[in-house]
């Protein structure tokens, strides 16, 4: 079952999300999914295959649009994702009745992986079950070194060191940060694998749980999508890794208090 909800009326269609309910929604935990597209393209439809997959694991999934950098520069997209997370966690919405909104799982791909990390690491740790970044821009410095052209439109001006620091997920890691899963192709042609490795190393040095899945394949782009799948579905080995992590962070049952 799917229904469209508005979490940010001021953003128009970019403030909409699709709620996917699992087969048995009563006490189902909740997840937020965030599409990619270099912060400047695509919409929630491009990530609905991942959302449907997570829903098949028994989660209620809110798959969102957000303002692209062609509409407003950073931090607009980050602000939207935070707003959507708080809407899902604490919004007084009839469609959320019966769901376990104690903790939130957040999953994004590519630029959406960056936004998933920036969302989950800026929420109270006790409200986040886990964060998944699929081929994400997990650490800005290594990506900026190869793809600096992305960052002037992202920031809406000169990508200063201060601005990069403010938008770098690495800077928000703390010893009590929620569990994280990073997946990355070792020859990713869009986002360098070093971005994921640096986040992994920093997180583990702080004592955080950072699960890491790096793989080799023959593909193009991010190396994550089954060719010609509609909607886009992740390769089975990636879905297996996501399933393992998601089951390991599933909130306790019966559900804990919401606040």
The single residue listed with the structure tokens 């601005």 is 163
36-41 average pLDDT score: 97
Mean pLDDT taken over the chain: 96
In a domain, 163, yes or no: yes
pLDDT digits (tens, 9 = 90+) for 68-90: 999 999 999 999 999 999 999 99
Q: Give the 3-state DSSP-derived string for 4-57, with helices as H, strands as E and coil as C.
A: EEECCHHHHHHHEEEEECCCCCCCCEEEEEECCCCCCCCCHHHHHHHHHHHHHC
Range of the domain at 173: 2-249
Please report whether residue 66 resides in a domain: yes
Residue 76 lies in a domain: yes
DSSP result, 144-158: HHH-GGGHHHHHTS-
Q: Is the pLDDT of residue 259 over 60?
A: no
CA distance from start to end of the chain: 27
What pLDDT is attached to residue 97? Answer: 96
The model's pLDDT over 229-252, given as tens digits with 9 standing for 90+, comes to: 999 999 999 999 999 999 999 998
Q: Report pLDDT digits (tens) over 163-212.
A: 999 999 999 999 999 999 999 999 999 999 999 999 999 999 999 999 99
Q: What's residue 1's pLDDT? A: 79
Number of domains composing the chain: 1
Residue 43 falls inside a structural domain: yes
Note whether residue 256 is domain-resident: no
Rounded to whole angstroms, the Cα distance separating 186 from 205 reads 22
Helix (H) or strand (E) holding 196: helix 193-205
Identify the pLDDT of residue 252. Answer: 80
Residue pLDDT, tens place only, 102-159: 999 999 999 999 999 999 999 999 999 999 999 999 999 999 999 999 999 999 999 9
Q: Domain for residue 259, yes or no?
A: no
Q: Which of 73, 18, 72 is nearest to 43 (CA)?
A: 18
Classify residue 257: in a domain, yes or no: no
Q: What is the pLDDT of residues 209-234, one digit of tens each?
A: 999 999 999 999 999 999 999 999 99
User: Which CATH number is 74's domain given?
Assistant: 3.40.50.1820
Q: What pLDDT does residue 258 have?
A: 45
> Mean of the pLDDT values across residues 59-73?
98
Q: What is the mean pLDDT of residues 42-70?
A: 98
**CA–CA dist 79, 169 (Å, integer):** 14
- Residue 238 within a domain: yes
Q: Which residues contact 230 (CB under 8 A, 6 or more apart)?
A: none
């Amino acid at each position: 079952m799917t229904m469209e909800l508005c979490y940010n009326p001021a953003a128009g269609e970019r403030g909409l999300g699709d709620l996917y309910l699992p087969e048995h929604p009563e006490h189902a935990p909740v997840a937020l999914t965030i599409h990619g597209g270099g912060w400047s393209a695509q919409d929630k439809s491009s990530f609905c295959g991942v959302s449907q997959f997570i829903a098949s694991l028994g989660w209620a999934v809110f798959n969102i649009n957000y303002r692209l950098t062609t509409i407003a520069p950073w931090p607009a997209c980050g602000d939207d994702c935070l707003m959507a997370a708080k809407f899902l966690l604490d919004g007084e919405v009839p469609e959320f009745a019966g769901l376990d909104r104690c903790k939130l799982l957040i999953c994004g791909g590519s630029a959406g992986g960056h936004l998933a990390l920036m969302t989950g690491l800026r929420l109270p740790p006790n409200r986040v079950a886990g964060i998944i970044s699929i081929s994400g821009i997990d650490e800005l410095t290594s990506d900026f070194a190869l793809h600096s052209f992305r960052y002037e439109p992202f920031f809406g001006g000169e990508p200063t060191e201060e601005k990069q620091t403010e938008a770098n997920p690495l800077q928000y890691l703390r010893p009590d940060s929620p569990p994280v899963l990073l997946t990355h192709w070792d020859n990713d042609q869009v986002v360098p694998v070093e971005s994921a490795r640096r986040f992994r190393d920093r997180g583990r040095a702080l004592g955080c749980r950072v699960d890491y899945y790096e793989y080799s394949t023959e593909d193009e782009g991010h190396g994550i999508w089954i060719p010609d799948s509609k909607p886009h579905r992740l390769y089975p080995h990636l879905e297996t890794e996501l399933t393992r992590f998601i089951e390991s962070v599933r909130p306790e049952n019966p559900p804990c208090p919401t606040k």
